[in-house]
Amino acid sequence: MLHGADSKKVIVLGLDGASWDFLDIMISAGSMPNLKTLISRGTRGILESSFPPITPSAWPSITTGVNPGKHGIFDFVKTNYENGEQTLTTTRDLEHPRIYEMLAMQRIETMVFNPIPAYPIVPLKNLKVASIAFSPKPVYHPDHMKKYALTFPDYLELFDAGGKTVDKDLFLDLKLERTYQRVSIVEEALRNVSWSLAWIRLQDPDDLLHTVGDIAYSSGKVHKMFAIIDRLFDVSHDLADLVVLVSDHGFRRYTRTISLNTLLYKEGLAIPESKHGLQDQYWAWNQSKYSQEREGGFRPPRVLQKFLQAHEMRLLTKLGNFALKISNRPYQFPKVDPIGSRAYSPTPYGDAVFVREASDLERTRQALTGREGIAEVKTREDVYWGPYVTRSPNLLVMVDHVNGYRHGSNRIERHIWEEKIAWDHHPYGVALLSGERVQPKASVLITSWDMTPTLMSYLGVPLPHDADGTILKDLLDTSPVDRHDYSSNWNLAKVL
C-alpha cells in the first residue's frame, strides 16, 4: 500500500527473541504464509544485537539509533556499586529518546505497544502508548489508549502454569489463548488509532523459547500460535507502505554453562555473602580456614588442609543438602558479596564483571582470558562510547556461544562449568524490510542502531545529532535529511 511521499506509513513488528532458524521452520510448515509473502517482496537480514544481547539494552539500541554508552541502559537492573543495591531500570534511566518519541517531537503521530523501558511514560503530544511490559501496572497515554493497555494480557503464562515446575501443556494452552487476545487487540488498534509509525513489540517468542524450547519447534500448539501472529503481517501489508520485522536478539540451544562468579571465587577475587541458605555455611567455612597469615590456634595437618580446600564445595553441598532437608528450606548456592569482593558479575544476564579497584583490573582480565567457555574479554571502553559508559561494569565477557556455552547463575556454584541443556539468547536476531521502495537483496547483516536512522530517513525526518547507526541506502529508497538535537527536549520532558 502506498500513501504518497508526504504520508508514508510504517509498521514495525518487534518479535522479542525471534531468530530465522525458528521462523523458517514456521514458514516451511505453512504456519506463516503472510510473512513468507513479505520476505519475497523485500530484504531479510540478520540483526546483530548490542552487547549484551538482552531485552533492556538491545531494544533501546534499536529504537534510539545509538549504542548503550549513549542511551545509558546496560541490564535489567542498575547496580549501586557502593552498597551493592540493585533497582529495575526505568524510563528515568533512558538518556536518549526513541524513534517514536523523536517523531512525536516532529509532530508526526506514532503508536507503540510495550516499549522498553515503558515505565513511567514520558507523555508527548502525538505519542500514543499502551504497555504492560516491566511495569508495576498497565500504563497508557493518552486516555483513549487505556482500553488497549487494560485488556492486553500480561505475560504471566509461566507463573500461571506452575512457575519453575511448569506444566508445559497448560503453558502452551495459555500461551495460545493469550496470543490470540494480544494479536486481536493490536489489530484493532492498528485499524482504529491514527499513526504514521506503529511500533509493536510482542514478547511471545522469548517467553516460549525460554520455557519450552525443547518442544517449541515441533509443537502443533506453537505452530498455531505463530499462525495467529502471522495475521499481523497481513494487516501490516494492508495498512503500511513499509513493513519491518525486527528482533532484539536470537535464540539457540546451549549445552554448557559457565559460572563467572564461581571462576572469580576460585581465583580469589569474589567472596560469598552470609545471609541465608548455604551462605551461612560459607561464612562459617571461611572463618574457620587456616591461612599462612593466621596466627595462633590449632592448625590441621597440611595434607588435611589441602584435602578440605580441594573438596570444599562438595563437602558444603552435602552439608547444605542435609541441613536444608531437615529444615525444609529451599536449596540455594551462595550469592556473591558485592562489597567484599574485589571483582564479581552483578547479574546472570549482563555478561559483565565489575572490578572494584583499578589495580585489580588487569589481574581480573587475565583470570578470565583464555578460559574454557569465554571467547573474549574486553573493557567497557572497547565496546561502548558516549557519556554513560561508566554505568557499565568494567569488563565485558563474550561467552563462547559458537561452541555451545552460555552464562549461568551469578551465584557461586559447585563447578565453574556444567553440562546443562538450556535455551537462551544469541547475539543474532532477525530483520526484514518489505515494501514497494525496498531494494530486494540477499541476506544482509544489520547493526542494532542502523534501524532507526534508516526509518527516519525514509520518513524524511531529521536524524538525532548523535546517531551511531548508518542509513541503509542500498536497501531502502531514503531521503537526505539533516541532524537534530532531540535529547535536550527529551531530558526536559522527563523532568516535567
Phi, psi of 384 (to 5 degrees): -110, 160
Of 89-98, 267-276, 393-402, the one with minimum mean pLDDT is 267-276
pLDDT at 278: 44
Phi, psi of 256 (to 5 degrees): -135, 150
- d(C-alpha 202, C-alpha 119), whole Å: 17
Using a 10 angstrom Cβ sphere, with 0-12 exposed, 13-18 middle and 19 or more buried, the burial of residue 81 is middle
Query: Would you list the domain boundaries of the chain?
Result: 5-249+427-495, 254-273+335-422, 275-333
The owner of cell 538535537 is: 485
Asked if residue 258 lies in contact with residue 33, where contact means CB atoms within 8 angstroms, the answer is no
Mean pLDDT of the chain: 89
Give the three-state DSSP class for 317: helix
Of 7-11, 284-288, 345-349, 448-452, the one with minimum mean pLDDT is 284-288
Mean pLDDT, rounded, for 372-387: 98
Rounded to two decimals, the pTM is 0.88
| pLDDT of 282 higher than 50 | no
Strand order in the sheet with 395-399: 343-344, 352-355, 395-399, 374-379
| pLDDT of 277 higher than 70 | no
pLDDT at 311: 59
What H or E segment, with its residue span, contains residue 382? helix 380-383
Mean pLDDT, rounded, for 82-93: 93
| pLDDT of 432 higher than 60 | yes
| pLDDT of 297 higher than 60 | no
Per the document, the length of the chain is: 496
* Long-range contacts formed by 161-168: CB under 8 A, 24+ apart: 166/211, 166/212, 168/211, 168/212, 168/215
Q: Among residues of the chain, what percentage have pLDDT more than 90?
A: 77
Q: Each residue of 457-487: pLDDT tens digit?
A: 999 999 999 999 999 998 988 888 899 999 9
Q: How far is CA 435 from the centre of its chain?
A: 28
**Beta-strand pair 42-48/428-435:** antiparallel
CA atoms within 13 A on the CB side of 475: 26
What H or E segment, with its residue span, contains residue 238? helix 220-239
Asked if residue 364 lies in contact with residue 108, where contact means CB atoms within 8 angstroms, the answer is no
User: Domain 254-273+335-422's class?
Assistant: alpha beta
How big is the chain by its Cα radius of gyration, in Å? 25
Q: Provide the pLDDT confidence category of residue 429 given band limits of 50, 70 and 90.
A: very high
Asked if residue 393 lies in contact with residue 350, where contact means CB atoms within 8 angstroms, the answer is yes
pLDDT at 4: 38
pLDDT at 332: 56
| pLDDT of 442 higher than 80 | no
Query: b or e along 376-387 (b: 16 or more beta carbons within 10 Å of the residue's beta carbon)?
Result: ebeebeebbebe
Mean pLDDT, rounded, for 122-127: 95
| pLDDT of 29 higher than 90 | yes
User: One fold for both 5-249+427-495 and 254-273+335-422?
Assistant: no
pLDDT at 439: 87
pLDDT at 78: 93
Q: Provide the pLDDT confidence category of residue 43 given band limits of 50, 70 and 90.
A: very high
| pLDDT of 331 higher than 70 | no
Q: Which option is the CATH number for 5-249+427-495: 3.30.420.40, 3.40.190.10, 3.40.640.10, 3.40.720.10?
A: 3.40.720.10
- d(C-alpha 398, C-alpha 81), whole Å: 22
HEC per residue, 321-333: HHHHHHHCCCCCC
Name which residue leads in pLDDT, 258 or 274. Answer: 258
- d(C-alpha 266, C-alpha 412), whole Å: 9
Mean pLDDT, rounded, for 15-37: 97
